[in-house]
Structure 1
Amino acid sequence: MYIKRIIIAVLLLGIVACAVFAYMVYGVFFTPNTSFNNETAYIYVKSNDDFNSVKAYVQPLLKNVDDFEATAERKGYTSNVKAGKYGIKKGMNNNEIVNALRSTNIPVKVSFNNQETVADLAGRIAAQIEADSVSLLTAFTDVDFLKENNFTATSKLALYIPNSYEFFWNTSAEKFRDKMLKEYHRFWNDQRLEKAKALNLSAVEVITLASIVHKETAKVDERPRVAGVYLNRLRTGMLLQADPTVIYALKLHQGNFNQVIKRVLYKDLELDSPYNTYKYAGLPPGPIAMPDISAIDAVLSPEKHGYYYFVANVENFGYHKFAKTLVQHNRNKQQYIRWINEQKINR
C-alpha cells in the first residue's frame, strides 16, 4: 500500500511538472510579446547580419527578448538568419515572430524618375534597397554587361525606364540591374519597336530624343507637338538646336550636374561637345536625362504638323509658341527675350 501511494505521488508530481513545463513553454512560445503601439513594426535584416544583429533590431519591439531568443533557438532560426524586410504585427507571440522572420520577406516598391546620370540613379536606388550606391554604380557601368546588351558608356541611362517596381529589399546591385534589363525589354514590346522603326530610330535613339522633349516641356499634353518639331528637323537635316542639350554639355564639361542653368547664353553655343546640338547634327550620343514614359510615347506617337521652331510662351507659362517659319519664330523669340531680360535672369 505504501509503495502504491509513493507511485501515485510520483505520478502526480510528474503531471504537475509537465503541466508547469507546458505552461512555461506556452508562455514562451504563444504569449503575445510585442511592446509597440503601431499595427506593424518593420525591421531590415542585412545580408551579412547574424542572429545577434536580429536580436538587437527586435529588442526595442519586444517585452521579453530572452523568450524570443529561446523560441528562435528551439525553431532553428538562430543559425538560419535570412536577409530582407520583415513585419512584426502588434500582439504577435514569439512563435509567430520567428515564423515571420523565417519566411515572410516583404517586397518593397522601388521608384525612380528623371535622373540625369547613373550616379544620381544609384543614389536614388540605394535609398530604397540594401545595395549601396557604390555597388550599384559599379553594376550600372560594367563594361562587359553594357557591351553584351548593346549599350555604351553614353547610352547606359536608356536602360532604366522610370516607373515603380517591386523588389525584395535585400536585392543585390547586379540583380537590380538585371531585372531592369528585363523590364527594358518588356517595355519595348513589338508595338513600340514598330513605331520606332517607322521613325527610322532605334529604341535608344527614341529615348535620347525623348530626354530632350522631356527637358523642353513639363506639359505632358504638349510633348507630342515638341517631339514633332524635332522629328521634322531630323527629317530635313536641320540641326536640332535644343537648349537642354547645351545645358547638359555645360554640366558635363564642368563636372557639376547640381548646378541650375536657367538661361543659355550665345557663348555657350560655341562649346565643343557632341551633346551640343547647335554644333553637331543629329541626336546626341545618348540621353541627357531619364525621360518619363509620356515623353517616350510622345516621340513614338508625335503630332504631325509643319512646325520647325518653338519658344517659351510668356503669356501661358509652361507652354510654348510654335512657328513654321524663321520669321515668325523670331517675332515670338523677341517677346521671350524681352520678358527674360525684365526678370533679370542672366544664367
Structure 2
Amino acid sequence: MFRKLVISVLMIVVLAGAFAGWQFFAANTAFPQKSKYLYIYTGHATWPEVLKSVKDSNLVKSPGMFDLLATKLDVPEKLKAGRYEIKNGMSLMDITRLLRNGTQAPVKLIITKLRTKENLAGFLGRKMEVDSLDVLTYLNDSLKSLGFDSNTVMAMIYPNTYTYFWNASMQNIFDKFHEEYKRVWTDERRQQARNQGLTPIQAYTLASIVEEESTIRTDKDTIASIYLNRFKKGMRLQADPTIKFAMKDFTLRRIHTKYLSVESPYNTYMNAGLPPGPICTPSVITLDAVLHSPQTNYLYFVAKSDFSGRHVFTTTFDQHVKVANEFRTALSIEQQKRAIKDSLERHK
C-alpha cells in the first residue's frame, strides 16, 4: 500500500514538473498580432511595474508562471530599461531570457521631410523615450558648440534612416544626426558651396526652399540658379514657401497678396537675403541641385499651365507676367471644371 502511495506521489510530481516545463517552454503569448512591444521606462524598471504592464497588455497567458520563472532566473535584479519585442508564439523562457539579457528591439527613425523644430521634437517624442519638450530645449540650447543656433539647428538634420535603442539619450540621438551631417558635408561639397558663395548652412537653407518649390528633379537646379541670381543681385527672393513657413500654415495652396505682409524674418517678400534658417529638411539630391546649379540669366519661374509640375523660366518680369497670367487662366478654368464636376456628383 505504501509503495503504491509513493509511486502515485512521484507520478504527480513528475506530471507537475512536466506541466510546469510545458508552461515554461511552450508558446505562451496571448495576443493575435505578429508581435507586441513591452516598454520598460528609465527610472521605472521595477519588477512589479513590469509585471503589471505584462498583465495589462495581455502579453502572456500565464502571468503567474512568468513571474515565477523570471524570479527564479533573477530577472528582477537584472532588469534593464528598453523596448522589447515580444513575438507571437514565444515561450515564457524566451521572454524571460530576452529581459534578462536586455536584448532590445532597435528603433528605426525614418526621417523624410520635417518642417519645424516642433515637428522634429514631436516625432522623436512619439518614437523614442525622450520627451518632446526636452527635445525642443535641447535644440534651442545644446547645439551651439557645433555651430548651430535656434534658427539654423534644423540644418543638421538630413533625411535618412537612423537606428537607435528606444531609450537612447538625447546626446546619443543628436550625435548620430551630426555624424550624418559630417558625412554629407565632404570637402568636395564644402568647396562647391564656396563656389556658389554659400556656407553649408546657407546652402541647406536654399535647398529647403527649392525642396518646397518643386518635386521635379530636373527643375530643381534651375530653380536654385534663379534664387542664387536674386541673392547675388541683392533682390528679395520672394519665395512663396517662406510665406507658408512664416504663417505656419502648410496647407496653403495659393499665396494671396494679403499674405505677403506677414511679419516674420522668414518672409522673403519683405526681407532681403536668405531666411534665418531652413524651412524644411531637404534631401541630399536637392542639396546637390543647389551646389551644382548652372549659370543662368533666369530671374523668374512659374508653374506650367499644363499642370505637369514642371516650370517655365524667364529672364524678364514682362515675360514672367505673361506666363503667370497663362497659368492663372488655366488654373481658373480647371477650378471651374472641378466645381461643375463636384456639383454634378452631389446631384446624382
Residue matched to 1:282: 273
Say whether the 8 Å CA contact 2:224–2:293 is kept in structure 1.
yes
Superposed, 1:1-347 pairs within 5 Å as: 23=18, 26-27=21-22, 29-47=24-42, 48-59=44-55, 60-103=58-101, 104-142=103-141, 145-249=142-246, 251=247, 257-258=248-249, 260-271=251-262, 273-340=264-331, 343=335
Whole-angstrom CA distance in 2 between matches of 1:31 and 1:113: 42
Deviations 1:54-101 (A, max 9, x none): 223333222211111111111111122222221223333322211112
SS in 2 for 1:110: strand
Which letter does structure 2 place at the counterpart of 1:139? Y
Residues 15/191 of structure 1: CA separation in 2 closer, same or farther (3 Å cut): farther
Instruction: Give me the whole-angstrom Cα distance separating, in 2, the residues matched to 1:135 and 1:105.
Output: 23
* Residue 155 (structure 1) shift: 0.9
Alignment length (residue pairs): 330
Superposition deviation, residue 309 in structure 1? 1.1
Paired with 1:247 and 1:89, the residues of 2 have a C-alpha distance of: 44
Structure 1 residues 265-274 or 222-231, which shifts more?
A: 265-274
Partner Cα distance (1:187, 1:210) in 2: 14
Q: 1:122, CA displacement in angstroms?
A: 0.9
Give % identity.
35
Note the C-alpha offset of 1:210: 0.7
Residue range with higher mean Cα deviation, 64-73 or 91-100: 91-100
| Structure 1 gap ranges (5+) | 1-5, 252-256
Change (3 A) 1:51 1:289: same
Residues 39 and 81 in structure 2, CA contact (< 8 A), matched pair in contact too: yes
Q: Which amino acid in structure 1 is aligned with residue 90 of structure 2?
A: M
Return the alpha-carbon distance in structure 2 between the equivalents of residues 36 and 341 of structure 1: 54
Superposed CA RMSD in Å reads 3.0
- Counterpart-to-counterpart distance in 2, 1:308 and 1:136: 39
**Amino acid corresponding to residue 298 of structure 1 in structure 2:** A
Q: Cα distance, 1:170 vs. partner? A: 1.7
Structure 1 residues 116, 90: CA separation in 2 closer, same or farther (over 3 Å shift)? closer
Give the counterpart letter for 2:163 in structure 1: E
Match of 2:78, SS state, is coil
**Matched-pair contact (CA < 8 Å) for 2:220–2:289:** yes
Question: For residues 232-270 of structure 1, what are the alpha-carbon distances to aligned partners after superposition, in whole Å with 9 as ceiling and x for unaligned?
Answer: 222333332222223333x1xxxxx24633333345444
Cα distance in 1, alignment partners of residues 328 and 29 from structure 2: 65
Structure 2, unpaired ranges of 5+? 337-348
TM-score by length of 1: 0.83
1:110 positional shift: 0.9
